[in-house]
Amino acid sequence: MIEAGDVRKTFTVRERTGRLRRTRRRVSAVDGVSFTVAPGEFVGYLGPNGAGKSTTIKMLTGILTPTSGTIRVCGLDPSRQRTALARRLGVVFGHRTTLWWDLPLRDSLALVRRLYRVEAGAHRERLDELTALLDLGPFLATPVRQLSLGQRMRGDLAAALLHAPDLLVLDEPTIGLDVVSKATVRAFLERLNTERGTTILLTTHDLGDIERLCRRVMIVDHGRLAFDGSLDALRATAGSGRILVVELARPEPPVAVDGAAVERVEGPRQWLRLPGDANAASVVAALAARHEVRDIALREPDIEEIVARLYQGEIPYTAAH
Ligand SMILES: Nc1ncnc2c1ncn2[C@@H]1O[C@H](COP(=O)(O)OP(=O)(O)OP(=O)(O)O)[C@@H](O)[C@H]1O
């Protein structure tokens, strides 16, 4: 569905370096990224701010042309065959709407039908289905500018899917949504993928989206693909380990136990990181033999923490392969 081969995008930015002087600087936004996405996959595309995610998405959707490398999306070259690709592709940017601000949602969706030249019968059927799935009924007659963010996002999803695309590309579709709206959007996307077989590429900073939806995760950092694998592989990152929180009878210097490293000390509490293969029971036994332990708790690493540590360079991406 998507094939990207050694894709690069370089921007030239002009900078003021003195009162009258300007210099040009080259920014390598995407620096040799290669991957393929098969039909029916649901892939999360992650990365810290400025890593190159939006630039990649803009190249996949034909908005930007790569400086070098090859891209095929639905068998087409996005920058050369943008119109043909638009018929096969749906795109939703969480930050902005593609709907007409002053028109009621229903009229906006009718214009989308004309844009994509969807046959009237097929449109009605599809609109009914999307209205039911996304619960659009109560606000179809409301002008887009009066919709709440969650309602507007559901309207945008409907607009992107009215022409039944094979591939849906989402850029932060749950940004700013409350927990209930997020759950609605996530449940809808899951159904779209499993029941309709729509391939989905999802860019987000919300790791809840990723955990709930994606079987595969790609992480881009400094313009390069730093990780490409399953969510389980990411969770099992060698350096991630579990955290043992120990409450001692009194404040003590960091304890010394084989197979654990003290990460934090707060009064009588100490946080020990256990490597992936460590035996928690023997660490606890060793601790109890030498210290008066009041309480212990074992925490599994959460995905948010693992990703933060990867971004900060505390664990190498290679550990996640
Ligand atoms: N039009 C542009 N001109 C110059 N530099 C750009 C342009 N677009 C992006 N960049 C630079 O390219 C790099 C990657 O930007 P990009 O927007 O792709 O990152 P991102 O991963 O989407 O970030 P975020 O999570 O903050 O949205 C950044 O250093 C950014 O400043």
Q: Give every strand in the sheet of 261-266, ordered side by side.
A: 261-266, 269-274, 242-248, 293-299
| 156: β partners | none
Ligand 1 centroid to residue 60 C-alpha, Å: 15
Which DSSP helix (H) or strand (E) runs through 296? strand 293-299
With a 6 Å cutoff on the Cβ, whether 12 touches ligand 1 is no
Q: Whose alpha carbon is nearest atom 16 of ligand 1?
A: 52
pTM above 0.95, yes or no: no
238-261 pLDDT, tens digit per residue, is: 556 788 899 999 999 999 888 788
Helices of type H across the chain: 53-60, 82-86, 105-116, 120-134, 149-161, 179-196, 207-213, 231-235, 280-290, 303-311
Nearest residue to 257 via CA among 268, 246, 241: 246
| Per-residue pLDDT, 239 | 55
Ligand 1 centroid to residue 223 C-alpha, Å: 9
With a 6 Å cutoff on the Cβ, whether 13 touches ligand 1 is yes
In whole angstroms, give the CA distance from residue 250 to residue 267. 7
Q: Whose alpha carbon is nearest atom 29 of ligand 1?
A: 50
Nearest residue to 209 via CA among 195, 193, 223: 193
| Per-residue pLDDT, 158 | 92
With a 6 Å cutoff on the Cβ, whether 26 touches ligand 1 is no
Q: Whose alpha carbon is nearest atom 13 of ligand 1?
A: 29
How much is the ipTM here? 0.94
Q: Residue 43's Cα: distance from chain center in Å?
A: 8
In whole angstroms, give the CA distance from residue 159 to residue 105. 9
With a 6 Å cutoff on the Cβ, whether 54 touches ligand 1 is yes
212-246 pLDDT, tens digit per residue, is: 899 899 999 888 888 898 887 887 765 567 888 99
With a 6 Å cutoff on the Cβ, whether 9 touches ligand 1 is no
Residue stretches of the chain with pLDDT short of 70: 237-240, 276, 318-321
With a 6 Å cutoff on the Cβ, whether 46 touches ligand 1 is no
Q: For residues 176, 177, 183 and 187, what is the CA-based torsion angle, rounded to 10 degrees? A: -80
In whole angstroms, give the CA distance from residue 159 to residue 96. 13
Q: Whose alpha carbon is nearest atom 17 of ligand 1?
A: 54
CA distances from 279 to 186, 269, 283, 288, 312 (A): 36, 20, 7, 15, 27
